Amino acid sequence: MSSEGFTHLDEHGRPRMVDVGGKRPTHRRAVAEGQIVMSPETARAIASGATKKGNVLLISEVAGIAGAKRTSDLIPLCHPVSLSSVEVRLEVDRELPGVRATASAEVVERTGVEMEALTAVTVALLTVYDMCKALDRGMRIEGVRLLRKEGGRSGTWTATTENE
């Protein structure tokens, strides 16, 4: 197995955590998005607060923040980072129909926070599914992706139609 181009593999193709000890801490930020598609009835129930488990959007936003804080526990080769800010926003989109999620994470560290932003979105959407599965088991989580990353040696990267 060739390890060329894969930073999480050593010269023998074995997994490793990348050594970031020689890097200096810098401000880094990442933004991610995703959505969960559902029946129009389920989207209406979430928007009106008519679910038995409580405020789906608020609870899912908190779950997303908690997920971002646990990223290194979930993704084996991620470095634990000291997050300085995490925001998760969910909103019902009746035209989808479903819920759209965005998350941003910030840190002053030697490594980025893309995985934390992506984890926040994913955990928030999984929480929507968990809270609404009694209403709609056919929901689909889709389109989880990085929108933007800032900081570090590679600078700023923004999603475009070419890399969608």
pLDDT of residue 163: 57
- Residue tagged active-site, from 10, 19, 73, 130: 130
Per-domain residue ranges for the chain?
32-163
- 104 in helix, strand or coil? strand
Q: With 80 as the cut, is the pLDDT of residue 28 above it?
A: yes
Instruction: Confirm whether pTM is higher than 0.85.
Output: yes
Return the pLDDT at 124.
98
Q: Are 36 and 98 in contact (CB under 8 A)?
A: yes
Nearest to 106 by CA among 139, 61, 152: 152
In order of 17, 77, 118, the CA distances from 66 in angstroms are 23, 19, 12
Q: CATH number of the domain at 32-163, please?
A: 3.30.70.640
What's the pLDDT at 16? 72
* 130 labelled catalytic: yes
